[in-house]
Structure 1
């Protein structure tokens, strides 16, 4: 890979500029956000961009035919008046204009509205200033999905209801056993790209839904301390190697009120992913992934009988397979669909037909498909956001379905988000990079170099905050082969002749990336705060992190944390080569997988790290859940050596530095058993360790308590590392 160093951000000092306060480690991202267009999108069938006003009180627009000047489309008060006229039986008090709207035509949009009695999906006409359609739904509705014919499917506790357009309520399921959960998106613990539990067919006549049977999974205690007498709230938490949930997919016919269970077969402990209706409504496609997560079948099922029809394609891997995306059918070509997979190295698109034949490989170089934006008006090209430049940037691409030719439509270095007007002629491009807080432009698809600037934000810190210098650096992994990307944030008034303590902030696990070519390089405000307090703050994305392809992660199979630690130590080696780094004062902080990495480094590299703060840490992978844990580690029965090697319980005896473990007392993700067992191991080994619980928090600490948490972490470093 060509070496890529972005240089660094240097902000001048101002007489009035100050350091961030500890409160601003939490409030800063909002307080010092670069100016932007909030919730911007193209109006359908127009060359007009809609967005919310800065005070969230109106919907505004910028149009090509008026030089992209801002005008108001509708105010919050006008929308409230229309609601009261159309629904006089309910009370509405909008705190802000609805954030998420969907344009149906050039003049009408849909919005979700909450009233005192019901929730509503309303259609508003900006010309008449009237609401033209109202679809009510119960306040208690959970997973709510509205069909094309306005039937509404929704969940209540563990069951599904349908409210028809006429207002009739149909009981789809009536399971009284709470261990049977219908329609939930929390199936397979939301791994494999699962974010939905119910799916309407195109006509709204049939509903597919997950039925999760977790009666065979043991109850796991989560204590609620807020009651007069503490209450035990049991959850289902299948740990690696233990009995897991059984999931099926059911199809309910609205007219007959009958259900069919698709015959997805045995064994019951398998994963049903990528659920997609065929446009004809006759079939459903499901990705069937075995519990070992190394064999995927894309199957077709008949929705009338539930019978298996055929397997369209299969994938097998020596490590794991992780499907993340449902199928995307091609408009006007209902026998063709786009299938996404990283099986060949990078998540890319492949055009298949419904016979299972590969029509065209749509992949482009090593570009990773991050998001499919949709098709052009002729349905012959696909627009998508792709990750480029060794994971550091995103750009807009367009690929021709017939030829496979790919065109890059944006080019300025940085992290781009983009969308294309419904007529396919204009691009709304927004990007930032290390030196650019926010730029929004309109480009022409036929000539992307022709740019009309819509908004360019000033540096929001100028004259307010003395921002430290940020530098991006390139490193090489422990195997000497793989480029890695890192970031150094320098202390305020940095003097290269002095020596400074170091705080390493890391995550290190899958599906996360901490360093890229966007504003502030992705640094958090606590990172900036600690640099202003006199620390070198260092972050590096080791092998196993996101946006670098499958091989970048595969090295961690059956030994989570081993290669990650080796890479992080290459970062430490780099730091120690700098004369301004105090090698005797290196600390580390991370949360979740980062908490695991922190504790790993504190126990396996005890002579290097003097202070650590581990938030919500995994301590032993046998205490983590089946879906994630077994993907990377297999089961404890299959991989006892790997589990022993990566467990930190027997490493507690190696601890030398000061370690603070923070845990949410109601954490349902990394259960508290992890840190409690490590504390017990420290006691037995005669090792001192500090422990702090946030009683009313789950896996993360939010709200004002987050300020308290950052103050505690900063104080811990100041007390035990800086002095």
Structure 2
């Protein structure tokens, strides 16, 4: 009987093993496990409705549909591309006029850098259903508040399109590639201050404020594009590296009626950034956020558009750096809401129109992670926070006086909200490491569920046959006593009596987060695939990462890569001591900052890590851009040791394990120069390593079969070397 029962168990286990379908790189990166969402979801401003850009796969057409918040029923289809031959290639994005009677539709978009692109634009009149092509290959068009004009940029100059007369007025004329840019940010602003449109309309539609960039003395970077041509072509653009000259910026206000521009006097600033500009509710008062080059002093300016005088209404200083905020919200009386880390955690503050603090709205040893808006009627602020743990997100509302706080989300994981115009309802998007994204309608009074909108039960059902393991969250404590957020994925048939190899993943950049309780992305699916092949995959957010307060985030100041690398090495030692881990087989992987880290970890932790994969890594902080690098490191002229001691290119002699270095030649962000010079340093140190170069691929290294080939290469490397 005993032998018979053993045979039954054996046969059953064989059946289960066969039934458990294996993941493949081809499936993962072909989008097989992509979750359904609500694309281009936007709340209307004047009616309690929202819009979604839907795609009909059968007819290959797109519809811009209008829905009612209260009932979730479709009220109208504003436009269906099947009815307009001009839109046969679809709608890339859309924006409404203030009165929501006109829509600007983008089509035929052509990317420039990470966020910037040119596109053709069509004006659609909702009442007449008339579609008119008005602009070709321009940037960042935006309606004036009265809807009569559209400001836009083209070839480094600013223009105004008149909707009724269809005439175009040129606002600036000195724009020139690699020299002068008007109203559009330069490369480094776009990448590091995360905005492209550097112009804005006044509330009365009579003035257009804009930033002018003089790039003349900024060093120029060039990269070859190989394509399939007989000769490569060179792409050149201005790229200020750490310590080099930045663009000279100036602030201007254009008067639509007189057609004259006024230069705002900022002569008391030297070597500075204009990180944001935004008109207040007063049509004559413009706000601007001005940072010094070290980014440890921020002035919020109110500019009188008539006189050109600027006054500081709020100043923030920090021993490390001050983050720029997108949460500046002007109330009816021009008092304003602002977010700041000044008490050690990111919180919401209310100031009067002169910049005097009225009160701190949120308080506590936790961070506000998103500000959703302010309801003037009920004097209520809506926001997202990590009050219930740094790896989860919840939605809250609170009175402007800091009282009557109500938690509106109920599920444990990542909650985010899109509120109706009257703030009575919100669409909650929720996911966790075990629940794929769901979109529900909820009541803003108490957060109660009203109705489900979109679910991913089909995806959950599809994944059942793969019988994936769970992503286990825990807090790892290093020997030095640092408590760090972590997750681990073990093989589904995990046996604690066995010894497993461990593959660690991290990013580790300032304020980042990889350990979060949300749904699995494509990397997670790849990690699940590795677990099916007998690997434990782990991730640890070390010091310098975000959502645990300013002190935790900013402790790496002037020493990027010191404490972060120390924490990854120490975490690997802790994991290596687990009874089920083979401490001689620990690898590490990362992309961009994560590639910088994985390189450093293999070099500096040569006795801990057996192998590393570094994709698009910074190998020398002297090669990276001014705004990002100097924010955390000051300049190389001031902090040479901080730059050199923590750059992996200076530690190649310590390499003992297996190293795979990967880069795209058209990476405009982390230049392939980083890897080329690292390769030369490794060669001259007589070190053996592996490398792969992807022609004409940018920082994301994608397109066609690229991701599939890349992840198969990395998978094979792990199986061979770890």
TM-score (norm 1): 0.88
Uncovered stretches (5+) of structure 2, i.e. residues with no partner: 1-14, 110-118
Q: Which residue of 2 aligns with 1:643?
A: 643
Tell me: CA distance 1:663–1:205, structure 2 relative to 1, closer, same or farther (3 Å): same
Task: Output the CA distance in 2 between the equivalents of 1:123 and 1:366.
Answer: 49
Q: Which residue of 1 aligns with 2:8?
A: none
Uncovered stretches (5+) of structure 1, i.e. residues with no partner: 1-11, 84-90
Q: Which residue of 2 aligns with 1:448?
A: 447
Q: Which residue of 1 aligns with 2:456?
A: 457
Structure 2 SS opposite 1:417: strand
Q: Which residue of 2 aligns with 1:590?
A: 590
The answer to whether the Cα contact below 8 Å between 2:440 and 2:449 also exists between their aligned partners in 1 is no
Tell me: CA distance 1:183–1:42, structure 2 relative to 1, closer, same or farther (3 Å): closer
Q: Which residue of 1 aligns with 2:359?
A: 360
Structure 2 SS opposite 1:718: helix
Tell me: CA distance 1:71–1:241, structure 2 relative to 1, closer, same or farther (3 Å): closer
Task: Output the CA distance in 2 between the equivalents of 1:115 and 1:92.
Answer: 10
- Aligned pair count reads 687
Tell me: CA distance 1:248–1:14, structure 2 relative to 1, closer, same or farther (3 Å): farther
Tell me: CA distance 1:13–1:139, structure 2 relative to 1, closer, same or farther (3 Å): farther
The answer to whether the Cα contact below 8 Å between 1:515 and 1:521 also exists between their aligned partners in 2 is no
Question: C-alpha offsets along residues 575-605 of structure 1, whole Å, 9 cap, x if unaligned?
Answer: 1122221111111111100000011001100
Task: Output the CA distance in 2 between the equivalents of 1:104 and 1:224.
Answer: 42
Task: Output the CA distance in 1 between the equivalents of 2:316 and 2:45.
Answer: 39
Q: Which residue of 2 aligns with 1:426?
A: 425
Q: Which residue of 2 aligns with 1:21?
A: 24
Q: Which residue of 2 aligns with 1:376?
A: 375
Task: Output the CA distance in 2 between the equivalents of 1:185 and 1:441.
Answer: 37
Question: C-alpha offsets along residues 271-327 of structure 1, whole Å, 9 cap, x if unaligned?
Answer: 11231212122121222211122122222222223222x211212222122213262
Please, which moves more after superposition, 166-175 or 518-527? 518-527
Please, which moves more after superposition, 388-397 or 453-462? 453-462
The answer to whether the Cα contact below 8 Å between 2:573 and 2:608 also exists between their aligned partners in 1 is no
Tell me: CA distance 1:571–1:261, structure 2 relative to 1, closer, same or farther (3 Å): same
Q: Which residue of 2 aligns with 1:152?
A: 150
Q: Which residue of 1 aligns with 2:558?
A: 558
Tell me: CA distance 1:457–1:225, structure 2 relative to 1, closer, same or farther (3 Å): closer
Q: Which residue of 2 aligns with 1:92?
A: 86
The answer to whether the Cα contact below 8 Å between 1:505 and 1:539 also exists between their aligned partners in 2 is yes
Q: Alpha-carbon deviation of 1:225?
A: 1.7
Structure 1 SS opposite 2:510: coil
The answer to whether the Cα contact below 8 Å between 2:89 and 2:108 also exists between their aligned partners in 1 is no
The answer to whether the Cα contact below 8 Å between 2:185 and 2:213 also exists between their aligned partners in 1 is no
Structure 2 SS opposite 1:603: helix
Counterparts in 2 of 1:205-216, with a 5 A limit? 205-216=206-217
Task: Output the CA distance in 2 between the equivalents of 1:707 and 1:537.
Answer: 20
The answer to whether the Cα contact below 8 Å between 2:366 and 2:548 also exists between their aligned partners in 1 is no
Tell me: CA distance 1:404–1:58, structure 2 relative to 1, closer, same or farther (3 Å): same
Task: Output the CA distance in 2 between the equivalents of 1:698 and 1:680.
Answer: 21
Structure 2 SS opposite 1:23: helix
Task: Output the CA distance in 1 between the equivalents of 2:302 and 2:69.
Answer: 46
Task: Output the CA distance in 2 between the equivalents of 1:103 and 1:258.
Answer: 25
Question: C-alpha offsets along residues 118-154 of structure 1, whole Å, 9 cap, x if unaligned?
Answer: 52132435xxxx52x6675311211222212331121
Counterparts in 2 of 1:164-243, with a 5 A limit? 164-165=162-163, 166-175=165-174, 177-178=176-177, 179-186=179-186, 188-190=188-190, 191-226=192-227, 227-243=229-245
Please, which moves more after superposition, 393-402 or 620-629? 393-402
Please, which moves more after superposition, 377-386 or 702-711? 377-386
Q: Which residue of 1 aligns with 2:506?
A: 506
Task: Output the CA distance in 1 between the equivalents of 2:636 and 2:578.
Answer: 42
Task: Output the CA distance in 2 between the equivalents of 1:256 and 1:183.
Answer: 19
Please, which moves more after superposition, 463-472 or 236-245? 463-472
The answer to whether the Cα contact below 8 Å between 1:598 and 1:613 also exists between their aligned partners in 2 is yes
The answer to whether the Cα contact below 8 Å between 2:485 and 2:515 also exists between their aligned partners in 1 is yes
Q: Alpha-carbon deviation of 1:15?
A: 6.0
The answer to whether the Cα contact below 8 Å between 1:76 and 1:97 also exists between their aligned partners in 2 is no
Q: Which residue of 1 aligns with 2:161?
A: 163
Tell me: CA distance 1:13–1:301, structure 2 relative to 1, closer, same or farther (3 Å): farther
Q: Which residue of 2 aligns with 1:119?
A: 121
Task: Output the CA distance in 1 between the equivalents of 2:315 and 2:69.
Answer: 48
Question: C-alpha offsets along residues 382-405 of structure 1, whole Å, 9 cap, x if unaligned?
Answer: 212223333211111112124554
Task: Output the CA distance in 1 between the equivalents of 2:104 and 2:181.
Answer: 29
Please, which moves more after superposition, 272-281 or 705-714? 272-281
The answer to whether the Cα contact below 8 Å between 1:478 and 1:567 also exists between their aligned partners in 2 is no
Structure 2 SS opposite 1:378: coil
Q: Which residue of 1 aligns with 2:135?
A: 138
Task: Output the CA distance in 2 between the equivalents of 1:444 and 1:507.
Answer: 37
Structure 2 SS opposite 1:627: helix
Structure 2 SS opposite 1:298: strand
Q: Which residue of 1 aligns with 2:7?
A: none
Task: Output the CA distance in 2 between the equivalents of 1:64 and 1:203.
Answer: 30
Counterparts in 2 of 1:31-70, with a 5 A limit? 31-40=32-41, 51=52, 55=56, 57-58=62-63
Task: Output the CA distance in 2 between the equivalents of 1:625 and 1:118.
Answer: 31
Task: Output the CA distance in 1 between the equivalents of 2:713 and 2:449.
Answer: 51
Q: Alpha-carbon deviation of 1:510?
A: 2.2
Q: 1:255 aligns with which of 254, 257, 264?
A: 257
Q: Alpha-carbon deviation of 1:328?
A: 1.0
Tell me: CA distance 1:185–1:137, structure 2 relative to 1, closer, same or farther (3 Å): farther
The answer to whether the Cα contact below 8 Å between 2:188 and 2:239 also exists between their aligned partners in 1 is no
* Higher RCO (C-alpha 8 Å, min separation 6): 1
The answer to whether the Cα contact below 8 Å between 1:76 and 1:94 also exists between their aligned partners in 2 is no
Q: Alpha-carbon deviation of 1:417?
A: 1.5
Task: Output the CA distance in 1 between the equivalents of 2:276 and 2:70.
Answer: 42
Counterparts in 2 of 1:625-664, with a 5 A limit? 625-664=625-664
Task: Output the CA distance in 2 between the equivalents of 1:387 and 1:159.
Answer: 42
The answer to whether the Cα contact below 8 Å between 1:361 and 1:404 also exists between their aligned partners in 2 is no
Question: C-alpha offsets along residues 243-297 of structure 1, whole Å, 9 cap, x if unaligned?
Answer: 2221111111111111111112245421112312121221212222111221222
The answer to whether the Cα contact below 8 Å between 1:510 and 1:544 also exists between their aligned partners in 2 is yes
Q: Which residue of 1 aligns with 2:388?
A: 389
Task: Output the CA distance in 2 between the equivalents of 1:396 and 1:104.
Answer: 27
The question of 1:74 aligning with 2:67 is answered no
The question of 1:545 aligning with 2:545 is answered yes
Task: Output the CA distance in 2 between the equivalents of 1:388 and 1:670.
Answer: 35
Task: Output the CA distance in 1 between the equivalents of 2:79 and 2:67.
Answer: 18
Q: Alpha-carbon deviation of 1:37?
A: 4.6
The question of 1:285 aligning with 2:284 is answered no
Task: Output the CA distance in 2 between the equivalents of 1:641 and 1:58.
Answer: 56
The answer to whether the Cα contact below 8 Å between 1:160 and 1:173 also exists between their aligned partners in 2 is yes
Question: C-alpha offsets along residues 72-121 of structure 1, whole Å, 9 cap, x if unaligned?
Answer: 743865x644x5xxxxxxx424455776565978x967462548995213
Task: Output the CA distance in 2 between the equivalents of 1:99 and 1:157.
Answer: 21
Task: Output the CA distance in 1 between the equivalents of 2:89 and 2:386.
Answer: 37
Task: Output the CA distance in 1 between the equivalents of 2:197 and 2:577.
Answer: 49
Task: Output the CA distance in 2 between the equivalents of 1:621 and 1:25.
Answer: 33
Question: C-alpha offsets along residues 515-566 of structure 1, whole Å, 9 cap, x if unaligned?
Answer: 2112239963222222222211111111212322311221101111111112
Q: Which residue of 2 aligns with 1:686?
A: 686
Q: Which residue of 2 aligns with 1:6?
A: none
Task: Output the CA distance in 1 between the equivalents of 2:428 and 2:344.
Answer: 28
Q: Which residue of 1 aligns with 2:709?
A: 708
Q: Which residue of 2 aligns with 1:300?
A: 302
